[in-house]
Structure 1
Amino acid sequence: MNEFEKDVQAKSNDAIESGLGFVYSFLFFTIIFFIGVIIKAVAL
Structure 2
Amino acid sequence: MNEFEKEVQTTRNDVIDSGVGFVVGFGFFATIFAIGVIFKMFA
TM-score, length-scaled by structure 1: 0.83
Q: Unmatched 5+ residue regions in structure 2?
A: none
Alignment of 1:1-44 (within 5 A): 1-43=1-43
Q: Unmatched 5+ residue regions in structure 1?
A: none
TM-score, length-scaled by structure 2: 0.85
After the TM superposition, which segments of 4 or more aligned residues of structure 1 sit over 3 Å from their partners? none
Quote the RMSD (CA, aligned, Å): 0.9
Matched length? 43
> How much identity, in percent, do the aligned residues show?
63
